[in-house]
Structure 1
């Protein structure tokens, strides 16, 4: 299969790019496109054969549910049994944006491989002009996980998608780098109080400011025998080739870790705030300022992917404080490291 990457900006014929993408989707093909979080790999959510191509291209287990994307908020009325008031308040506040709401689906609305056999479905309206234009021109719901090989860091540029899925998908809409860099927050509104299933750009405090109590469980994994209710709750995710170890942002601990790794004649890549650059890691990838976690989130996946372009033996990543978007960053890091912390 030949993979075409179409740049969508003011210097090309946008209509032609969108028309080609819509035609591919209607024909039962899959298309990668940018959202404000990461690049998604989409198929029409009512077409089981098309959705199956997502799992095939990604090498993704089919028991992981997919998020359904819509171009207009009111479209979800066609897909769910009811919308609780708290869910409606969050939709009005955060859509379009990085919030996925879990609601009870109308039976037989979506392809069964979208919901992984669950009675619920995750829905969101992305805040990206290309994603919204594509969805509105198509006029149908699109199931779309991140556009990467399963288990690898999510793609924040079209080139990341191309590297992972070249020859596996027919079309990539290239809209440049994404803005947030981490997947959406997933909240289960089928229970009250609502439960955060995956932290993201819409933080627990932002939700509480709108609807009051929200349960934010301090867990990153579920038992393998359970069926996950949202993407990212099962299996290792976001991992580069070299093993990832997490470490507290303590200067002495980081310096000692790098020294210990070098004494074993191994190379180390360090992802950390700028102030840690002084410790002579073989490769240093800046996570910016410890007080600006949005910058860390935006660059995290790109830096993890850049480690694959090195010959590092170990990747050390300092962890953020678990407030605001720091909770989402820590969630992704614990999965990338498979729970491994550095101990000297």
Structure 2
């Protein structure tokens, strides 16, 4: 298959919408990461997402809508908690899991009675949803398991020859996938951390939001993935990633002791001058949002520079840093060295 890469312009968006209505897949920009979009009501179209990505079919997809009217038929009903969260965070990087409606293709939900929905704030994504007239299923537009793409170049590199079109809408402003909360149970639960934090969700809902154990730990053997991004190894470059948990001084000393061919450090801006190996910068030490925006590009850069092993500084597990930790721990397949 020949893959076209087109800048976001009225004619290319009209062409993308036509492809989506015809049951094809299109790489699209969102504020979080680039998505691989298809008609969420069409099982055959959704099957092309799984095929292009090499994605296991037990991993549910997120449905993207342009406005609140888009929830009709996508969800069974719109709970009060959804209305509160939507008023505060939509459009934006928040996915809400609710009881599914009868409009959505079975393959989107991976056999679950629930559906994950979000309303992207990226103007190109929103316009494509409107132009196509469809709710769009759209996981990250990468080959399954690799770091998510945050620009059109990454998307094109991963999916060239697998999909007909990638729309270039520039760099993603958030850089990690959306926060995922389920309100389908008795109490809201955070299933995937992101730019919108647990504390922000609790403030809006006025009640505690539980934290899924699978955010900071491995998904238990045989457990069902209720949300994208819960799998054991995910977001991973070809290089072997290992997290180092300790002070800046201990991190520096460890890397000096383990320097060698193919050894890289994924570090903060402030640490570059003190490290004895090639460095890939993932942001400033105190800028969690900047680290999130830079993370997947940094992981891809490690491969581009020929890294064989990457020692990454372990972030904290609070606020937006929880999202960075969640992605890194999976990129590292839960390899953590306590310093």
Shift of 1:305: 0.2
- Provide the C-alpha distance between the structure 2 equivalents of 1:281 and 1:328, rounded to a whole number of angstroms: 28
Aligned residue in 1 for 2:119? 125
Aligned residue in 2 for 1:61? 56
Aligned residue in 1 for 2:251? 254
- Provide the C-alpha distance between the structure 2 equivalents of 1:129 and 1:170, rounded to a whole number of angstroms: 21
Shift of 1:218: 4.2
Secondary structure of the equivalent of 1:123? strand
- 1:179-198 matches, within 5 Å, as 179-198=173-192
Question: Bigger shift: 288-297 or 251-260?
Answer: 251-260
Unaligned runs of 5+ in 1: 9-13
- 1:105-184 matches, within 5 Å, as 105-107=100-102, 109-184=103-178
Aligned residue in 1 for 2:303? 308
- Provide the C-alpha distance between the structure 2 equivalents of 1:15 and 1:288, rounded to a whole number of angstroms: 35
Secondary structure of the equivalent of 2:115? strand
Q: Is the 8 A contact 2:63 2:115 kept in 1?
A: yes
Tell me which of 80, 88, 97 is aligned to 1:85. 80
Shift of 1:249: 5.1
Moved segments of 4+, more than 6 Å? none
Question: Bigger shift: 308-317 or 126-135?
Answer: 308-317
Secondary structure of the equivalent of 1:253? helix
Q: Is the 8 A contact 1:249 1:320 kept in 2?
A: no
1:112–1:78 distance in 2 versus 1, CA, 3 Å? closer
Q: Is residue 2:271 matched to residue 1:276? A: yes
Aligned residue in 1 for 2:37? 42
Q: Is residue 2:237 matched to residue 1:240? A: yes
RMSD: 1.4
1:148–1:73 distance in 2 versus 1, CA, 3 Å? same
Q: Is the 8 A contact 1:102 1:123 kept in 2?
A: yes
Secondary structure of the equivalent of 1:245? strand
- Provide the C-alpha distance between the structure 2 equivalents of 1:343 and 1:207, rounded to a whole number of angstroms: 31
Shift of 1:81: 1.5
1:295-332 Cα distance to aligned partner (Å, 9 max, x none): 00000000000111122221011122222100111000
Question: Bigger shift: 122-131 or 285-294?
Answer: 285-294
* TM norm structure 2: 0.96
- Provide the C-alpha distance between the structure 1 equivalents of 2:199 and 2:338, rounded to a whole number of angstroms: 32
- Provide the C-alpha distance between the structure 2 equivalents of 1:285 and 1:249, rounded to a whole number of angstroms: 19
Q: Is the 8 A contact 1:258 1:279 kept in 2?
A: no
Tell me which of 30, 38, 47 is aligned to 2:25. 30
Q: How many pairs were matched up?
A: 336
1:147–1:281 distance in 2 versus 1, CA, 3 Å? farther
1:259–1:6 distance in 2 versus 1, CA, 3 Å? same
Q: Is residue 2:320 matched to residue 1:325? A: yes
Q: Is the 8 A contact 1:261 1:267 kept in 2?
A: no
